[in-house]
């Protein structure tokens, strides 16, 4: 190959890599506890955990809550709400839930985080103590206020088994 061809190939590769960085990616934590004994049966799958809100909403585009295992019976939870435009108020409130074997119960309530004249809100809570052998998930409440319009909804993360 000549120098000109090498330059073109390099430019194409750089362009391709740059475009890949712009693609949205959903990160999933790998569950190292897959072989760890659970103290309850597995919870049912959440069918629509990563879907968008009511398609009739004008302003609340999407939102999600997440859970990450920090080890040593500690987890972090975080969540975000997205609006289609800047609104009077946008917010997110996070709740950590534990599976009892038959129901999800709330075990930790995070403060509501709200932003004014914004299209994005974010909340993060670190180092929440959890019990090993139980499944946990994040329940996130998302809302937007614009004028007299209120749009809101809940999302649920995947369940995660805390290892022994």
Query: Does residue 139 sit within a domain?
Result: yes
State residue 77's pLDDT score.
98
Query: Does residue 154 sit within a domain?
Result: yes
Domain containing 49 equals 35-161
State residue 40's pLDDT score.
86
Q: Which has more confidence, 109 or 28? A: 109
- Contact between 111 and 93 (Cβ < 8 Å): yes
Query: Does residue 28 sit within a domain?
Result: no
Query: Does residue 96 sit within a domain?
Result: yes
**Structural domain count, the chain:** 1
Query: Does residue 24 sit within a domain?
Result: no
Query: Does residue 125 sit within a domain?
Result: yes
Residues 6+ apart with CB under 8 A from 159: 42, 43, 46, 99, 135, 136, 137
State residue 42's pLDDT score.
84
Query: Does residue 6 sit within a domain?
Result: no
CATH assignment at residue 87? 2.60.40
- As a whole number of Å, the CA-based R_g of the chain is 20
- Say which range, 37-41, 59-63, 106-110, 156-160, has the weakest mean pLDDT: 37-41
pLDDT band, residue 111 (cuts 50/70/90):
very high
């Amino acid at each position: 190959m000549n120098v000109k061809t090498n330059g073109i190939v390099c430019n194409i590769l750089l362009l391709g890599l740059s475009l890949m960085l712009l693609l949205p990616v959903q990160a999933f934590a790998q569950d190292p506890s897959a072989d760890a004994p659970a103290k309850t049966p597995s919870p049912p799958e959440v069918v629509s955990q990563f879907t968008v809100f009511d398609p009739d909403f004008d302003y609340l585009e999407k939102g999600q809550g997440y859970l990450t295992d920090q080890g040593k019976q500690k987890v972090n939870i975080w969540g975000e709400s997205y609006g289609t435009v800047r609104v009077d108020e946008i917010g997110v409130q996070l709740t950590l839930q534990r599976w009892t074997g038959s129901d999800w119960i709330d075990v930790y309530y995070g403060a509501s985080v709200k932003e004014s004249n914004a299209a994005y809100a974010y909340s993060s809570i670190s180092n929440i103590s959890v019990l090993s052998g139980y499944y946990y998930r994040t329940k996130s409440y998302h809302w937007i206020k614009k004028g007299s319009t209120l749009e809101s909804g809940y999302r649920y993360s995947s369940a995660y088994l805390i290892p022994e």
